[in-house]
Structures are given as structure tokens and as C-alpha cells.
């Protein structure tokens, strides 16, 4: 592999504690090639402000109770710390156990987003994905059945360049 290329795969996982317990995750940092990845998990909560209006806020996972039905936001920030542009950057995240991907929530400016419904063995657009039912008949995949997401950074990332990818999942 050329030194100017970096292939990155990151597996994010959240260990969910029993209902009522506080789940915590420290931001992860991982070096591979010249790319630094930082991942965080936040929970979306609705709070009432001083005017009595409901507002959606994001709190770090360790600062809020996580219960079934909560939506968690998984964000990975990537940064090129090398002196050369980085190419072929691929970030892969599983949808954690006991979570369902929230349809159309994947984001990543300047990336191509693909999904998997077979535990990361193959990837495609939502329209390309199929799975076999109990009788072996192929059918389309519902977003709740996604097991992994994958972002491919489209253009070389210049030295000092950075970006962010994210998705949401709901605790079952």
C-alpha cells in the first residue's frame, strides 16, 4: 500500500447496562496510518426550557440515563495528521446490539454512505440491499435491519483536513 493511502476501519460498540443503570463510554482515539479517529456517543433527550417549550438536546452518554426508546447519536471525527493527502479512507461502524438504526440518519459530508444487513459481509445502497427470508426468497431490507454502516471519503484528505460522520440508533 502506498504511504499516501490510509485504509481505516473502526468498530464502535456501546455496552448497554440494565435499564436504570448509567452507561458510560469514554471518547476513543485510534491511530492508523496518518489518520486520527475520535468517537463519541450522545443520547438525545427532550427537556422543557424556561418558557415551557420542549427542546431536543444531546448529552454525552455518561451524563444521562439511557432507557429503551432513547435515540443515541454515534459520531466519528477523522483528521489527517500526516504531511501528505490521505486517500481511500473508509470508516465502518456496526449498529450496536439491542439498537435499531434510525432511517435516513447517516450523515457524512464528502462521503459515500453504504449499508450492510449481513454483519458487514457486503455493502450497498438501501435500494440494492436484499436478504433471504425463511423460505430463501429475496426481499428488500428495512432500515431497522441494518447491521453496519460504512462511509468512504470521496476526495483525498489534505494534511490537517478533517471531517465527521454520524448515525442515530434507537435502544430497543
Cα distances (angstroms) measured from residue 114 to each of 28, 120, 135, 146, 162: 23, 10, 27, 10, 20
Return the pLDDT at 12.
Answer: 31
For residue 7, tell me if it sits in a domain: no
For residue 6, tell me if it sits in a domain: no
CA distance 164 to 89: 12
Return the pLDDT at 33.
Answer: 57
- What count of Cα atoms within 13 Å lies in the side-chain half-sphere of residue 157? 29
For residue 21, tell me if it sits in a domain: no
For residue 16, tell me if it sits in a domain: no
Please list, in sequence order, all residues whose beta carbon lies within 8 angstroms of the beta carbon of residue 34, skipping any fewer than 6 positions away. 6, 80, 81, 82, 83, 84, 86
Return the pLDDT at 157.
Answer: 96
Name the 3-class secondary structure at 164.
Answer: strand
Instruction: Indicate the number of domains in the chain.
Output: 1
Exposed e or buried b per residue across 112-143, where buried means at least 16 C-beta atoms within 10 angstroms of its C-beta: ebbbbbeebeebeebeebeeeeeeeeeeebeb
Q: How many residues does the chain have?
A: 172
For residue 65, tell me if it sits in a domain: yes
For residue 8, tell me if it sits in a domain: no
- What count of Cα atoms within 13 Å lies in the side-chain half-sphere of residue 29? 3
For residue 149, tell me if it sits in a domain: yes
Return the pLDDT at 65.
Answer: 84
Query: In the chain, what are the helix, strand and coil shares in percent, each to the nearest 5?
Result: 5, 45, 50
Return the pLDDT at 109.
Answer: 97
**pLDDT, one tens digit for every residue, the chain (172 residues):** 443 333 333 333 332 322 222 222 334 444 445 999 999 999 988 888 888 888 888 888 888 888 999 999 999 999 999 999 999 999 999 999 999 999 999 999 999 999 999 999 999 999 999 988 889 999 999 999 999 999 999 999 999 999 999 999 999 9
Name the 3-class secondary structure at 144.
Answer: helix
For residue 123, tell me if it sits in a domain: yes
Return the pLDDT at 10.
Answer: 31
Q: What is the CATH classification number for the domain harbouring 157?
A: 2.60.40
Exposed e or buried b per residue across 59-77, where buried means at least 16 C-beta atoms within 10 angstroms of its C-beta: eebeebebeeebbbbbbbb
Q: Which domain holds residue 77?
A: 28-171
pTM of the entire predicted model: 0.77
Amino acid at each position: 500500500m502506498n504511504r499516501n493511502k490510509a485504509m481505516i476501519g473502526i468498530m464502535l460498540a456501546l455496552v448497554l447496562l440494565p435499564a436504570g443503570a448509567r452507561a458510560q463510554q469514554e471518547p476513543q482515539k485510534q491511530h492508523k496510518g496518518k489518520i486520527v479517529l475520535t468517537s463519541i456517543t450522545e443520547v438525545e433527550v427532550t427537556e422543557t426550557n424556561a418558557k415551557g417549550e420542549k427542546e431536543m438536546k444531546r448529552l454525552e452518554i455518561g451524563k444521562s440515563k439511557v432507557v429503551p426508546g432513547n435515540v443515541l447519536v454515534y459520531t466519528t471525527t477523522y483528521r489527517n495528521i500526516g504531511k501528505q493527502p490521505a486517500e481511500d479512507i473508509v470508516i465502518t461502524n456496526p449498529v450496536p446490539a439491542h439498537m435499531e438504526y434510525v432511517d435516513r440518519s447517516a450523515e457524512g459530508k464528502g462521503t459515500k454512505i453504504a449499508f450492510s444487513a449481513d454483519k458487514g459481509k457486503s455493502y450497498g445502497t438501501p435500494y440494492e440491499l436484499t436478504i433471504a427470508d425463511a423460505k430463501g426468497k429475496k426481499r428488500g431490507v428495512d432500515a431497522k435491519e441494518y447491521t453496519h454502516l460504512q462511509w468512504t471519503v470521496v476526495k483525498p484528505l489534505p494534511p490537517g483536513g478533517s471531517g465527521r460522520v454520524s448515525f442515530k440508533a434507537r435502544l430497543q
